[in-house]
Amino acid sequence: MGTLTAPAPWKQLLLSAMESNSHLRHSSYIQLATIGCNGRPSNRTVVFRGFQEDSDKIQIHTDCRSRKIEELKNCPFAEICWYFTDSWEQFRINGTVDMIDGSDPDPVKLEQREKCWFSTSLRSRLQYLGPHPGLPDPSEETPAQVFLDPSAGPAAAFCVLVLDPQQVDFLNLKSNQGVTFSSTQSPNGDKCWTSERVNP
């Protein structure tokens, strides 16, 4: 049995912000920034797909053929920016990203990938059967209809990104409050968090 670790102190702030903004459809959209292979910033909007089990690790679904995969293979560091428009709260979550695709040798990770696949709608799953993202579209014709067996396992292009937070910058513009949460590892390997009030 694994050692129980204290929950990340920023996670409850985030869960509260998600709850108070849940009536807004866009509250589950986050910006994910990576470092491009050319050394320049690379940013896009993705969907928050929940925390990995009972941890503070954040899950995102993506296409194995997308540019962000090559960027993360080149440099695994990334940052999420999440702004909640009703409560005026911003979270910048910095960490490293683990990629889980169909070639992963770890059966636990493959099981996690399959669970993520079946947690999404059929419409979302169909996106992974389409043409290679980012490549030129040579045809102006309507693409052929793609059919998907609802019981079929993950498409080859389906990938789960798991961001392991190392630093979280929290900003509340209503209360004019800023807090930086930083993680360190204890001697037994557990993640420990410290917090510091900062000027917003």
Q: Are 62 and 72 in contact (CB under 8 A)?
A: no
Query: Which residue blocks in 21-137 are alpha helix, DSSP H?
Result: 67-74, 107-119, 122-126
Q: At 23, is the pLDDT very low, low, confident or very high (cuts 50, 70, 90)? A: very high
Between strands 89-100 and 191-198, the pairing is unpaired
Please state which of the four CATH numbers 3.30.380.10, 2.30.110.10, 3.40.50.720, 3.40.50.300 is assigned to the domain occupying 9-102+157-198: 2.30.110.10
Whole-model pTM: value is: 0.91
Name the more confident of 189 and 163. Answer: 163
**What one-character DSSP code corresponds to residue 197?**
E
Sign of the Cα pseudo-torsion (86, 92, 95, 101, in order): positive
Structural domain boundaries in the chain: 9-102+157-198
Q: pLDDT, tens digit, for every residue of 52-89? A: 988 999 999 999 999 999 999 999 999 999 999 999 99
